[in-house]
Amino acid sequence: MLFSLNEEKRIDMRFYNSYFIGNCVYIILILLCSQRIVAQTILVDENMSDWNNIPEYAQESAGDFGNGELDIERIKIYDDDRFIYFLLELNSEILLQQSNDLSLFIDTDNNSNTGVELEGIGYELQFIFGDREGDVYLDGVASISSYDVGLVSAPTVTSDFFEIKMDKNSEIKGKKLFSSDTLAFFFRTQVSGGDLAPNNPSNFFYTLKNSKSTFNSFIHLDRETEFDLRFLSYNVYRDYLFNLEARDSFRRIFQFIEPDIIGLQEVYDNSGADAAFLIKEFLGGQWYSGDVGNDNLLVSRYPILKQKAIKGNAAYLVKIDNISFQNVLMIVAHPPCCSNDQGRQDEIDAFMAFLRESKEGREFNIAEDTPIVIVGDMNLVGLNQQVKTLLTGDIINEVEYGQDFTPDWDGTALEDAKPFNPGLPTTFTWYNENSSFGAGRLDYIVYTGSVLELGTSYSLHSKTLPQEFLDTTFLQGDDTYEASDHLPLVADFRLKNATNIEIDSEKSQSIRLHQNYPNPFNPLTKISYSVDKLSHIELVVTNSIGQSVSTLVNSIQQSGNYTVNFDASGLSSGIYTYLLKVDGFKISKTMTLVR
């Protein structure tokens, strides 16, 4: 949904930041060879630690904001071969995308005689953060949104620091915006006599480094081990999952992700049973559903033992029946949007209190060390206190919801998976080019880190995936954009203390077996796989009782990506398994033949 922001200023954002330091989760990347030195990586992830070795752009004077209310205390800048990054530290907390008078001006061609003259530079780009719009001056003036220049900022909640990313390869009306290896810039408040940083912009210049970005590397999004459980959180935009116009996009997305447990939000007019039926159509196999009467559904490969509505949100106890896991307490949440800070805080208080009660022998009465995973579109676009409550159990309305508590079993805060966008240094989960609001992180997956180990995680944004990657997956570039304004949020978990399990994670990461497409099919489908070295390959199809019905590949193959056709003519309807063997290592998936 479209979101709005509120300008109220509350708790110290540095407390909020402390819970994220050390917890940023990197997308698994296999680095490609390069003769250039790899740059220091800047991640737009609400964590300033990766800026520690970056010098200040200019020394700022404290308290020099004159008649304004906002003092710019520190600015830093960095770049790689794809992006330009800014770090902005302020004297007080604001919402960057609303209700502030902060602007950024950039002389993109290092020529004070072009663009618009101001403070001794000639700026080609002005962006007004509180208005979520800007202007570019290249052969005239063009109005822009954040999407036109790849501008992404974090966090989306109130803060006294912000990370900002821009695409240095941006083009406006066919003209490259950043045309020089040197630029000048400044931030300014629009209040007469307000703050300016740096104080003398014409005395400072930044030379682009153009160092190799690690995010140009090959993207690997498979499970790290075959024992990982894959969780998916997905706001499907007002039942759009069930709309025939979006069916193919959703099908490709779900078949690519291959989730085990799915938390859905914004399902208002369809039931949990409807959702499970559709997921079975997409993925085959048996699916269970949970539905407490609001828009937060659960669809799972595993049975659901208990369920309960918690105001507008839902709790589910899932029975995991395999040797490497156990039961999981799931909360699927969708608190109120936009400027409704009070309603959002109230609902987060409520489901965190439910979690406390379940841990203490009431409500679901879960056993000690039961894994807990909270997912959903949290709509965290206002006060950062709501993030604090979600992670630390700091309940605001203690009269109604009881005392604060530490939500993890070891007496610590929950951990924030904070999945990255594949191939990007960002963590946004909401993206809508038709909105004035820029991309932001509204959706969360948080978990008990004392008992769960995070594996692969990502926020799937298909629009920026390389074409060579898309070609191996059957995904299309616009799939996530066509399906919803929220991105599918994925996290794999395994138990930290699982025993008697031999995991060959190195081998499992070196091969990939994709979901067949189309699926279901009749009678033709394609199966794709990839290997990273010369290997003996077998690809076999079996029926429901394990009998081989077709051997598609049995040969030695070089490293690379492969696609084979499977013709099921002569076979009856049903679920079939295709098994890939690579030098003795096995991966299998199922597919559905429908006559």
For residue 498, the model assigns a pLDDT of 63
- Asked if residue 46 lies in contact with residue 24, where contact means CB atoms within 8 angstroms, the answer is no
Q: Where are the domains of the chain?
A: 39-213, 229-501, 507-593
Q: How confident is the model at residue 65 (pLDDT cuts 50, 70, 90)?
A: low
pTM of the model: 0.81
Residue 297 CA to residue 323 CA, distance in Å, equals: 26
- At position 209, the amino acid (one-letter code) is K
- Asked if residue 498 lies in contact with residue 452, where contact means CB atoms within 8 angstroms, the answer is no
pLDDT in tens, 331-363: 999 999 999 999 999 999 999 999 999 999 999
Domain 229-501 has CATH 3.50.7.10: no
For residue 217, the model assigns a pLDDT of 58
Higher pLDDT, 506 or 80: 80
- DSSP code of 301? S
Termini Cα distance of the chain? 39
pLDDT score of 26 more than 50: no
- At position 251, the amino acid (one-letter code) is R
**Residue 417 half-sphere exposure toward CB, CA atoms < 13 A:** 34
Q: How confident is the model at residue 36 (pLDDT cuts 50, 70, 90)?
A: very low
pLDDT in tens, 215-268: 755 577 988 887 899 999 999 999 999 999 999 999 999 999 999 999 999 999
Q: How confident is the model at residue 68 (pLDDT cuts 50, 70, 90)?
A: low
Q: Mention the CATH class of domain 507-593.
A: mainly beta
| Helix, strand, or coil (residue 358) | helix
pLDDT in tens, 150-177: 999 999 999 999 999 999 999 999 999 9
Contacts of 64-67 spanning 24+ positions with Cβ under 8 A: 64/195, 64/199, 65/91, 65/189, 65/194, 65/195, 66/191, 66/193, 66/194, 66/195, 67/191, 67/192, 67/193, 67/194
Instruction: Give the Cα-Cα-Cα angle 100, 110, 83 (nearest 5 degrees).
Output: 60
CATH architecture observed for domain 39-213? Sandwich (2.60)
pLDDT score of 1 more than 70: no
- Asked if residue 93 lies in contact with residue 159, where contact means CB atoms within 8 angstroms, the answer is yes
Residue 331 CA to residue 357 CA, distance in Å, equals: 14
For residue 500, the model assigns a pLDDT of 40
Higher pLDDT, 64 or 581: 581
Q: Residue count of the chain, please give it.
A: 595
Asked whether the domain spanning 507-593 has the same topology as the one spanning 229-501, the reply is: no
